[in-house]
Amino acid sequence: MEQTTEAEFDAQFNVNVKGHYFTLQRLLPYLADGSSVLFTSSASATAATLNTSVYAATKAALNKIAQVAANELAGRKIRVNVISPGPVATELVLAAPEEVLNNFASSTALQRLGQPEELARAILFLASDDASFVTGTELLVDGGWTNYAYK
Cα–Cα distance list, 42 to 82, 112, 124 (Å): 9, 17, 17
What's the distance, Cα to Cα, between the start and end of the chain in Å?
21
Helix (H, G, I), strand (E, B) or coil at 78: coil
Point out the catalytic residue in the list 21, 55, 148, 150.
55
Are 140 and 43 contacting, i.e. CB atoms less than 8 angstroms apart?
yes
Are 59 and 101 contacting, i.e. CB atoms less than 8 angstroms apart?
no
Based on the residue annotation, tell me whether 55 is a catalytic residue of this protein.
yes
- Which among 134, 7, 140, 141 has a CA at the least distance from the CA of 77? 134
Helix (H, G, I), strand (E, B) or coil at 60: helix
The catalytic residue positions are: 55
